[in-house]
């Protein structure tokens, strides 16, 4: 026999339905090779459980699994937003970008109106994932846009997930010093080094 406290409340039921829809939609966005569930490193699981406004920086050698870990972290973060008992803030928004595509989209010739609209979305989304930040070269224009983007997220404690094969301190050349300074604070305590081998080759990296 069930007591009423064993059954999910109507509100929890609605949350679960919304969660399933959001996760299915997100799964469609995940590139095929990154869709399989993986065990997340302990530090990453801790970040999801209590991120408290900090950002997450995943670093490590080529092929250790940074991008895969980041996609699965976004998914687990999304799932966690539907936890029963948390106040409902609306459907969480996640922007996911390769740095090269992002820098292209922020170029001045990408169209002034479109560039500003994108910048606003990047500033305001609930979670922003930028893959392989060290892989792209930023012009001084792009560095200014990155500053607008990171400063807005920094002052509002909105989280960013970054993957990079170099540590945050080495990113100044790409992002410029003001973004690098903010990133250092945003990711303090949540820089995770993924160790292991190049999974593509199946040998030590």
Ligand X SMILES: Nc1ncnc2c1ncn2[C@@H]1O[C@H](COP(=O)(O)OP(=O)(O)OP(=O)(O)O)[C@@H](O)[C@H]1O
Site for ligand X in 173-202 (CB under 6 A): 199-200
C-beta of 184 vs 205, nearer to ligand X = 205
62 lies in the site for ligand X, by CB under 6 A: yes
68 lies in the site for ligand X, by CB under 6 A: yes
Q: From 69, 71, 62, select the one nearest 197 (Cα to Cα).
A: 62
SS3 16: helix
Number of residues binding to ligand X, judged by CB under 6 A: 16
DSSP H or E run through 154: helix 140-155
C-beta of 59 vs 67, nearer to Mg ion = 67
The residue with tokens 């469609």 is 28
Q: How far is the CB of 96 from Mg ion (least distance, A)?
A: 12
C-beta of 1 vs 204, nearer to Mg ion = 204
C-beta of 39 vs 89, nearer to ligand X = 39
Contacting positions for Mg ion (CB under 5 A): 66-67
CA 57 to chain centre: 9
SS3 191: strand
**Options 12, 43, 132, 144; binder of ligand X; rule CB under 6 A:** 132
| Beta strands in 34-149, from DSSP E residues, in sequence order | 56-60, 94-98, 127-131
Part of the chain binding ligand X (CB under 6 A), chosen from 8-16, 57-65, 99-107, 112-120: 57-65
Distance separating alpha carbons of residues 205 and 202, to the nearest angstrom: 9
Distance separating alpha carbons of residues 24 and 30, to the nearest angstrom: 10
Residues that bind ligand X (CB under 6 A): 33-34, 38, 60, 62-68, 132, 163, 165, 199-200
């Amino acid at each position: 026999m069930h007591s009423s406290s064993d059954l999910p409340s109507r509100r929890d039921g609605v949350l679960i339905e919304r969660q399933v829809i959001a996760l299915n939609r997100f799964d469609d966005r995940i590139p095929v090779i990154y869709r399989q569930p993986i065990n997340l490193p302990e530090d990453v699981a801790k970040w999801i459980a209590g991120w408290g406004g900090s950002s997450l920086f995943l670093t490590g050698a080529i092929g250790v699994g940074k991008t895969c870990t980041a996609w699965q972290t976004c998914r687990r973060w999304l799932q966690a937003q539907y936890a029963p008992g948390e106040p409902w803030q609306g459907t969480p928004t996640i922007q996911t970008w390769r740095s090269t595509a992002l820098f292209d989209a922020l170029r001045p010739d990408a169209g002034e109106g479109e560039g500003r609209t994108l910048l606003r979305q990047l500033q305001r989304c609930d979670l922003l994932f930028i893959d392989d930040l060290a892989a792209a070269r930023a012009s001084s224009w792009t560095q200014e846009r990155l500053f607008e983007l990171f400063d807005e997220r920094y002052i509002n404690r909105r989280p960013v997930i970054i993957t990079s094969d170099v540590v945050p301190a080495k990113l100044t050349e790409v992002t410029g010093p003001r973004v690098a300074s903010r990133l250092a604070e945003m990711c303090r305590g949540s820089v995770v080094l993924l160790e292991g081998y190049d999974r593509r080759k199946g040998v030590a990296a």
